[in-house]
Structure 1
Amino acid sequence: MGVPNLPDRPIHELAPLIETGALSPVTLLEACLQRIAAADPVLHAFVILCADRAREAAKAAEREIAGGTYRGKLHGIPFAVKDLLDVAGLPTGAGSLHLSDNVVEETATVVQRLIEAGAVFLGKLQMVEFAFGGWGTNTHLGAPRNPWDLTEHRSPGGSSSGSGVAVAAGMVAFSLASDTGGSIRSPAAMNGIVGLKPTISSVSTHGVFPLSQTLDSIGPLTRSVEDAAIVFDAISGADRLDPGTWGANPPRVSAGGANVGGMRLALLSPDQLPGVQPSILDALVRSAQVFRELGAEVVEIRLPRTPLEYCVGASHIIRTEGYANLADLMAEDRGAFDPHVRARVHAGNAGTAAQFAARLIERREDMVAMREVLEGFDALLLPATPIASPPLNTIDEQAMPLSDLTRFVNYLGLCAIALPNGVNPEGMPLSLQIVAMPSREDILFTLGRAFEGATPWHARRPDLSSLTG
């Protein structure tokens, strides 16, 4: 049978069709490849497209399912990954021309888990060089175009720029990316999709090019909250190759509910959100009202510090560890690197070891203080970004950080999800961020499901008819 708009359908709608044989993984893959052929010459989301490899995997999935072996909801579902996750036999470029021939021999744990779940690997996606930037720009490789405006080159968000664009444009059903200070949530917000930043210890970073080992997280970008839950269940859990996960016991979330009755939610006071666009603040107020109508109690609160103030400590950690990870590589060729990224990396050499240690001690104190404030609340509500996607030629990267509202989550060891909650007067997506305590992804998904069930925003898709015909 024919299934309309295949590339735009969420995983949770595609999976039952594949399981029952109503939809072939080969048919789904070819629909995605057709979308890529039509849209990617303009949107530029992919760095490497592995069409032949994907076709073989889709055929294998088709044979397995026809033979009675169904691996689960990701079986036969196409996905792609940010180009800092290792895939054996392919280069891990990390958004840098300098690493374009960096062919690796192992596959990252999270990618391997998806392949073992039957998902169909389709390729690698554009990113900011070394994941060190929020707007999605890349001096040498270019910035993907935000699919919500084909008339003007707007920010796709970063650093996982291609990961957000590919999902929003229907090139893949989901993507996998990293988030050190907002690099999953910002592209999700800019592209009108869902982005999960899990608890740091819940998902392995083995086989991932690092920026800041203290703050790096791996998570999915998807077209629905339920899709993110399906992917999270597949990738999370302890990994013997990543000591940071050895004590991990993440919740299983894909079978969860959507009842928020009796939940108590903290709403960040607008006076702790300086510089946030009015349309985004209005969308936040409306989102809080949605939860009230669903039976939750919503209480406006103030944090011990503003999200922006927490950025100071987070930035110090990212810069210092970024310098430790990248300085030797950058010393090899001064002309081959993005000047904004180079400046950020070398800023990490300005402090002393004692100052870095002091930041880590301060971080622990901040974690305790935040826990005390959020005690008695199930989650915190705030915007995912301070502004909607602007034209790239209006951005001053030094003066306009995009991660002011996201970086504190990594710094404090929390988990968060970004999901669509409106549009601005120009028709660009807006996004709600829901934050919960460590290892409470189950709360994020309960709230996210409830919000999607009461609002239309997750069902919107960019108009690509001028590209696809």
Structure 2
Amino acid sequence: MIKRLLSLFCLFVFAGLVANSQPFKPTHLRETTVSSLHDAMRSGKLTAVQLVHLYLDRIEAYDKQGPYLNAIILVNPKALTEAARLDSIYKATGKFVGPLHGIPVIVKDNYDTYDMPTTNGTLAMKNSIPPDDAYVVRKIREAGAIIIAKSNLAEFATSGQVSVSSILPGYSRNPYDTKRTTAGSSGGTAAAVAADFGTIGLGTDTGSSIRGPSSHQSLVGFRPTLGLVSRDGIAPLALTNDTGGPICRTVEDAARVLDVIAGYDKADTVTRRNAGKIPASYLAFLDKNGLKGARIGVFRQLCTPKNSDPQVYALFNKALDELRAAGAIVIDSVRVPELDTINKSFDTIPQLRRDFNLYLANLGPKAPHKSLTSIIKSRQFHPSIEKTLLDSDADTLAPEAHKGWGKNMALRERLRQLLLRAMDSTGVDVLVYPSFSYPPRLIGDLNTPSGTNNNALSPPTGFPAFSVPMGFTYDNLPAGLQFFGRPFSEPTLIKLCYAYEQATHHRRPPESTPPLPRKKKNKREIASR
């Protein structure tokens, strides 16, 4: 009897060892994280080359065929070469080159890349190869990341509602329902990350464009404090608001990206603000019990029964119960009575002409266009943005020379002070509200409410706001919960968002892009070896 038990135990252990020695499979790729991929690399189950192949297979299967997500503008032709270089370094040294070693990244195509075109979604810039990387791109490469693809966006990042450009035919499509929008402008990045075309993604946010697509694709999106992340080498829309940030499937991965990209850059003076405000690592704030005793302020001005879809409103109230169950003290509600008046009082002052012309000048003599006027004359842009471009180019005054500039700056400061006063007087750590009060709209529908709440607080103040999955409405349509914080309170936001994520696990992958079957080595794989 004892011998039989020992025999069975040995078989069990052997089976476990065999299972653990199995190579990394396509099924393992789904919803994987930086940490799990690095574990697989360290155990010898996975190389960076193999990982890139797995993602390229998914892009090939699902981006321009199958569900036709149309999220990718350009696959990096050198991705496998870079993966092989990283593998050789690891083989020789036994060490990763950095915290993102071998990790494939989806980069929104308004980030400069010295070795690939940066189109900003416009046909006029199809052949524009910048002289150097954007600051953020340089930092992720130094950390060992591999740019696997440049993703589609709303052209010139002008829309928070849709992701459509002249560089690709058609809209980027939501993998949870391909008849629906990805939101904008970073919708291509979000659709690609949600569908497992890459491990992590980079987006930009002027009014909504990280948090909106993240909400619509059940992702985590960080809009950091203005000044935490450099905008150098990112095609601008309005530098008073523009910032870059991560779009990921988990809070942990987003925090890993923030560790790499946050910092001072002399090429972007706004980053002087972050001196002394960046911790050694944001990963230190990943606390699954982080909601215990936290004071959460409910900002119901952005979510009422009258201005919300019933199911989103119900999800929001359920989220408040989930916060309470995780130990939070929920203050329902916190108000800023002047909010609507302030947001309606801003003068519209175009910044695109001045900011974009400066960006073009920094591209050097090989830039295909030297001015916004030249791009307009080329007619190589999507018709939907023609009025925006014409209006911006016709306004030849510097933004600061407009009569309304001083008023706008005063309104921004007033809103900052009112929000800080409301948060301080109620003793709350953050404010919460739905990222969208309505589900993703059908592509082409510009009449029903979009329900975006992303523009109201964070862009005009420069304060940070993170969106995390809040659940699903109707036919598996995602919704996001937004956490809004004080300036440079990213550690607090990460702690609370992570605790909520771990307490709820709302994210689930889209059914339209299932794991691919394991296949024999193709010509691309053989050639890369």
Q: TM-score, normalised by structure 2?
A: 0.82
1:432 matched to which residue of 2? Answer: 481
CA contact (8 A) 1:186 1:403 kept: yes
Aligned partners of 2:320, 2:192: CA distance in 1, in Å? 30
CA contact (8 A) 1:10 1:173 kept: yes
CA contact (8 A) 1:272 1:302 kept: no
Q: Helix, strand or coil: the match of 1:457?
A: coil
Q: Compute the displacement of 1:347 (Å).
A: 5.2
Aligned partners of 2:323, 2:218: CA distance in 1, in Å? 20
Q: Deviations over 1:281-304 (max 9, x none)?
A: 111111111111111100112432
Q: Deviations over 1:211-269 (max 9, x none)?
A: 11111011010010111000010110111221111231323311222322111110112
Q: Deviations over 1:63-120 (max 9, x none)?
A: 2222222234311110021111000032221111111122211100101100000011
CA contact (8 A) 2:199 2:248 kept: yes
1:246 matched to which residue of 2? Answer: 272
CA contact (8 A) 1:7 1:28 kept: no
**1:452 is the counterpart of 2:501:** yes
Amino acid at match of 1:90: M
1:55 matched to which residue of 2? Answer: 80
The structure having more radius of gyration, on CA atoms, is: 2
Identical residues among aligned pairs (%) = 27
1:329 matched to which residue of 2? Answer: 372
Are residues 238 and 426 of structure 1, via their aligned partners in 2, closer, same or farther at CA, if it must alter by over 3 Å?
Answer: same
Aligned partners of 2:86, 2:140: CA distance in 1, in Å? 13
Aligned partners of 1:158, 1:451: CA distance in 2, in Å? 25
Are residues 192 and 309 of structure 1, via their aligned partners in 2, closer, same or farther at CA, if it must alter by over 3 Å?
Answer: farther
Amino acid at match of 2:325: E
Aligned partners of 1:309, 1:113: CA distance in 2, in Å? 41
Amino acid at match of 1:250: I
Are residues 302 and 264 of structure 1, via their aligned partners in 2, closer, same or farther at CA, if it must alter by over 3 Å?
Answer: closer
5 Å-filtered alignment, 1:10-409, equals 10-41=33-64, 42-51=68-77, 53-66=78-91, 67-138=93-164, 140=166, 141=168, 142-150=170-178, 153-248=179-274, 249-251=277-279, 252-256=281-285, 257-258=287-288, 259-269=290-300, 273=304, 274-305=306-337, 311-312=343-344, 316=347, 319-325=349-355, 328-330=371-373, 332-333=376-377, 335-346=379-390, 349=395, 353-375=402-424, 376-396=427-447, 400=449, 403-409=452-458
Aligned partners of 1:330, 1:47: CA distance in 2, in Å? 24
Q: Compute the displacement of 1:309 (Å).
A: 5.4
Aligned partners of 1:271, 1:80: CA distance in 2, in Å? 31
Are residues 90 and 265 of structure 1, via their aligned partners in 2, closer, same or farther at CA, if it must alter by over 3 Å?
Answer: same
Aligned partners of 2:481, 2:196: CA distance in 1, in Å? 22
Aligned partners of 1:61, 1:253: CA distance in 2, in Å? 25
Aligned partners of 1:241, 1:130: CA distance in 2, in Å? 21
Q: Deviations over 1:129-183 (max 9, x none)?
A: 1101012242533211111124xx2101100111101100000011111101110
Amino acid at match of 2:387: A
Aligned partners of 1:99, 1:197: CA distance in 2, in Å? 26
Q: Helix, strand or coil: the match of 1:177?
A: strand
Are residues 71 and 326 of structure 1, via their aligned partners in 2, closer, same or farther at CA, if it must alter by over 3 Å?
Answer: closer
Aligned partners of 1:175, 1:466: CA distance in 2, in Å? 20
CA contact (8 A) 2:70 2:173 kept: yes
Are residues 118 and 340 of structure 1, via their aligned partners in 2, closer, same or farther at CA, if it must alter by over 3 Å?
Answer: same
Between stretches 128-137 and 64-73, larger displacement belongs to 64-73
Between stretches 278-287 and 326-335, larger displacement belongs to 326-335
Q: Compute the displacement of 1:312 (Å).
A: 3.8
Between stretches 334-343 and 236-245, larger displacement belongs to 334-343
Amino acid at match of 2:484: V
Aligned partners of 2:175, 2:339: CA distance in 1, in Å? 29
CA RMSD of aligned residues (A): 2.4
Q: Compute the displacement of 1:30 (Å).
A: 0.9
Amino acid at match of 1:300: D
CA contact (8 A) 1:307 1:404 kept: no
Amino acid at match of 1:148: Y
Q: Deviations over 1:346-389 (max 9, x none)?
A: 55649971112211122112111111011121111100112111
Between stretches 198-207 and 298-307, larger displacement belongs to 298-307
Q: Deviations over 1:26-82 (max 9, x none)?
A: 22111101101101111111111114x111111122222222222343111100211
Q: Which runs of 5+ in 1 are unaligned?
A: none
CA contact (8 A) 1:146 1:191 kept: yes
Are residues 197 and 465 of structure 1, via their aligned partners in 2, closer, same or farther at CA, if it must alter by over 3 Å?
Answer: closer
Are residues 48 and 137 of structure 1, via their aligned partners in 2, closer, same or farther at CA, if it must alter by over 3 Å?
Answer: same
Q: Helix, strand or coil: the match of 1:421?
A: strand
2:509 matched to which residue of 1? Answer: 461
Q: Which runs of 5+ in 2 are unaligned?
A: 1-21, 358-370, 518-529
Paired residues, what number?
461
Q: Compute the displacement of 1:400 (Å).
A: 4.7
Q: Compute the displacement of 1:201 (Å).
A: 0.3
CA contact (8 A) 1:77 1:119 kept: yes
Q: TM-score, normalised by structure 1?
A: 0.92
Amino acid at match of 2:436: T
CA contact (8 A) 1:168 1:223 kept: yes
